[in-house]
Amino acid sequence: MSNDGFLSFPQSFLWGVSTSAYQIEGAVDEDGRGLSIWDTFCRQPGKVRNGENGDVAADHYHRWQEDVHIMAELGLKAYRFSIAWPRILPSGYGAVNPKGLDFYGRLVDALLAKGIEPFPTLYHWDLPQALQDRGGWPNRDTAYYFAEYAQVIAEALGDRVTYWITHNEPFVAAVLGYFTGEHAPGVQDPVAAFQAGHHLLLSHGLAAQALRETARLRPHVGIALNLSPVYPASESEADRQAAVRFDGVLNRMFLDPLFRRQYPQDLLNLLGGLFPQPEPGDLDRIGAPLDFLGVNYYSRIVVRHDPEFPLIQAVQVQPEGAEYSQMWEIYPQGMYDLLTRIWADYRPAYVLVTENGIPVADAPDLDGRVRDERRIRYLRDHLVQVHRAMSDGVPLRGYFVWSLLDNFEWAHGYAMRFGLVYVDYATQQRIVKDSGRWYAQVVAENGVRVGE
Ligand code: FCB
């Protein structure tokens, strides 16, 4: 696959970009959209940097045609976006809002017309507020409402969409949403968090079944997990055990039920009564075969034993001498370690890297160009590791950069710019960054030049 200085990828490789609804769309009270938990959360003082919110974001709801045009110009093969549940079912269930369905129908048609494969994600954290008012994800009913929503979407788009992602990062939705409270709905209750985690997984299983029963095109159904390889900070036995526990909560808590129909026994022992009792049949639903696994990878985790830390007695440390972005350590080798480990332990049918990217504090230079060399380097270094994993047998069929556009980065507000395309929030002007041009070249050549 490779020769000197150039790593080539398989012909049908899916080169894509990812976004999510609340982070780019804006238009939060247009065309019948209901409130989401992020609308509510952003209005609570101190939750989001500078009190920012997604009311306007990158104004994609009005500028989607321009954004599709940019993707076509970059030659992209695939676009992963999310559907805002509160646009489709403003109260979470019951009455369907046809204008919401129309928006995504038009988007899908425009993508297909340009030869870009749509990859909708059904849930990227914007739960209808009406469902949070009934308890949110800790309430088991939410899983069944999610399946109803999936069915509505499958009826509307299942004649055109092949690839589906049920959830984005259920770990983050459960743990940051209901345990640490850093994300909407801002609850801080470990029992609620573990219930949320289980119900998110259950809802994945129910929605996957609804998609398979309803979509006209045979669907490829997957889920996107945030996964990181976890390494001990030292060779001590205590640190090693801490890394096993951290890996349990972050990775195996989701991978084991999805691929083995069981929660990891060491975690159940650790968490005891905090962990919800799955009802009979839940694990069979959750573990029904997936068509693909989506992997969101940004960084590794290094941990040490800490008896003070609740539950898992393990804390993340930032290793000295490492390279850092504004948010995380930069560790390309972790991509390889993670992909090969997933393949060895779980044997997914195939894998897509559904997110990978870096925040860079970039801005246009005097000539209007955005020279984000650091992003190019990050993406290139990670693609080298992706390629290595494929050469070692990992069945990887696609790679999606987070993100197409600069956007609303949750609790960080607009401070973090992840886009291949710069957004001037004052004017909503889009400028393709140097990284965007570089990625277009990767797609056009179907490979990565290294050592340049
Ligand atoms: C991931 C999220 C995505 C974005 C990136 C930076 O955890 O899925 O929405 O915030 O991180």
- In tens, the pLDDT along 348-365 reads 999 999 999 999 999 999
- pLDDT tens track for 314-331: 999 999 999 999 999 999
Query: 64 C-alpha to center of ligand 1: Å?
Result: 20
- pLDDT tens track for 60-95: 999 999 999 999 999 999 999 999 999 999 999 999
Question: Atom 10, ligand 1: which residue's CA is nearest?
Answer: 409
- In this prediction, residue 140 carries a pLDDT of 98
Ligand 1 atom nearest 125 alpha carbon: 9
- pLDDT tens track for 165-219: 999 999 999 999 999 999 999 999 999 999 999 999 999 999 999 999 999 999 9
Q: Which residues are bridge partners to 121 per DSSP? A: 82, 165
Averaged confidence pLDDT in the chain: 97
- Residue to substitute in 298, 325, 410 for testing ligand 1 pocket (most ligand atoms within 8 angstroms of CB): 410
Of 162, 270, 164, 267, residue with least CA distance to 223? 164
C-alpha distances (whole Å) from 377 to each of 4, 133, 400 are 18, 44, 16
Structure token digits, residue 138: 């800790």
Structure token digits, residue 380: 């290139």
Sequence-ordered list of residues with C-beta below 8 angstroms from that of 11, at least 6 positions apart, any chain: 446
- Residue to substitute in 49, 81, 169, 412 for testing ligand 1 pocket (most ligand atoms within 8 angstroms of CB): 169
Strands 329-330 and 230-232 come out as unpaired
pTM over 0.75: yes
Query: 431 C-alpha to center of ligand 1: Å?
Result: 21
H or E element at residue 284: helix 282-286
CA-to-CA distance for 330 and 203, rounded, in angstroms?
Answer: 33
- In this prediction, residue 2 carries a pLDDT of 44
- In this prediction, residue 40 carries a pLDDT of 99
SS3 of residue 333 by DSSP: helix
Amino acid (1-letter code) at residue 53: N
Sequence-ordered list of residues with C-beta below 8 angstroms from that of 86, at least 6 positions apart, any chain: 33, 34, 35, 36, 92, 126, 128, 129
- Mean pLDDT for the stretch of residues 247-251: 98
Q: Any idea which residues carry the catalytic annotation? A: 169, 355
418 close to ligand 1 (CB < 6 Angstrom): yes
- In this prediction, residue 452 carries a pLDDT of 63
Ligand 1 atom nearest 23 alpha carbon: 9
- pLDDT tens track for 370-420: 999 999 999 999 999 999 999 999 999 999 999 999 999 999 999 999 999
pLDDT score of 49 more than 60: yes
- Mean pLDDT for the stretch of residues 264-292: 95
354 close to ligand 1 (CB < 6 Angstrom): no
Q: Look at phi and psi of residue 428 and say left if phi exceeds 0, alpha if psi is from -120 to 50, else beta.
A: left
* 227 neighbors 295 (Cβ within 8 angstroms): yes
* 132 neighbors 192 (Cβ within 8 angstroms): no
> Percent of the chain scored above 90 by pLDDT?
97
Query: 337 C-alpha to center of ligand 1: Å?
Result: 21
Q: Which residues are bridge partners to 305 per DSSP? A: 314
Query: 181 C-alpha to center of ligand 1: Å?
Result: 16
Question: Atom 9, ligand 1: which residue's CA is nearest?
Answer: 20
- pLDDT tens track for 1-44: 444 699 999 999 999 999 999 999 999 999 999 999 999 999 99
126 close to ligand 1 (CB < 6 Angstrom): no
- In this prediction, residue 1 carries a pLDDT of 45
226 close to ligand 1 (CB < 6 Angstrom): yes
Q: Which domains does the chain have, with CATH numbers?
A: 10-447 (3.20.20.80)
- In this prediction, residue 4 carries a pLDDT of 63
